[in-house]
Amino acid sequence: MLVPFAAFLSGLIFGLGLILSGMTDPAKVLSFLDVAGPWDPSLMFVMLGAISIGFFAFRVAKQRGQTLLSTPVHLPGIRTVDLRLILGSLLFGMGWGLAGICPGPGLVLAASGNVEGIVFVVAMLLGMLIFDLLEKHHQSGSNLNYRQPGNIERK
């Protein structure tokens, strides 16, 4: 029961952090990406702030080799830069540049009832579903090339 509760609290805190940081305002994100226009570097400070805490959290997790509850820590096993990572990140960057919305802020916007946020999130979920279908299709076609999706969550 503690794990789902911690996860709930983490999601709530994460969302509040996103809102405070200004990242749920797509115009602000686009101003960060618009380096040739009037540039707003705020997003870089959001990342620095998050990493300033995250860096130590991951160090603790690595040193302990387990969580504070003595359960396993699930870290991505894959280490090599491959074509999937590159093409996927390029495609994500295109969508991010078009809308100024990435998954976290998108969900927060949609939850607050913002119509544009809902349009974005429905399309995003559809995209994830398409990915799953393609992966399953690929899996049934050839087991050689298949790799589990979402390895970022896996051990």
Partner 1 sequence: MIDWQSFTPVSAFTGGMIIGLATALLLLIAGRIAGISGIVGGLIELRRGDFAWRAAFVSGLLLAPWLWHWLGELLPVRIETGHAVLALAGLAVGIGTRYGSGCTSGHGVCGLSRLSPRSMVATVLFMAVGMVVVYVVRHILG
Query: Which residues in the 88-107 window bind partner 1 by CB under 8 A?
Result: 88-104, 106-107
Distance of closest approach, residue 117 Cβ to partner 1, in angstroms: 8
Angle at which helices 42-64 and 26-33 pack, to 10 degrees?
A: 90
Nearer to partner 1, 68 or 144 (CB): 68
Binding of partner 1 at residue 57 (CB under 8 A)? yes
Binding of partner 1 at residue 144 (CB under 8 A)? no
Site for partner 1 in 30-49 (CB under 8 A): 30-31, 33-43, 45-49
Binding of partner 1 at residue 139 (CB under 8 A)? no
User: Rounded distance, CA 108 to CA 25, Å?
Assistant: 10
Considering only 63, 68, 77, 145, the residue that binds partner 1 (CB under 8 A) is 68
Distance of closest approach, residue 77 Cβ to partner 1, in angstroms: 11
> What Å distances lie between residue 5 and 78, 90, 106, 125, CA to CA?
29, 35, 23, 25
User: Rounded distance, CA 76 to CA 147, Å?
Assistant: 13
Considering only 63, 77, 127, 137, the residue that binds partner 1 (CB under 8 A) is 127
Binding of partner 1 at residue 145 (CB under 8 A)? no
**Cα torsion 115, 120, 126, 128: sign:** negative
Binding of partner 1 at residue 56 (CB under 8 A)? yes
Q: Is the Cβ–Cβ distance between 62 and 72 less than 8 Å?
A: no
Report which DSSP code applies to 7: H
Interface size with partner 1, residues (CB under 8 A): 120
Report which DSSP code applies to 144: S
What single letter denotes the amino acid at residue 131? F
Distance of closest approach, residue 142 Cβ to partner 1, in angstroms: 17
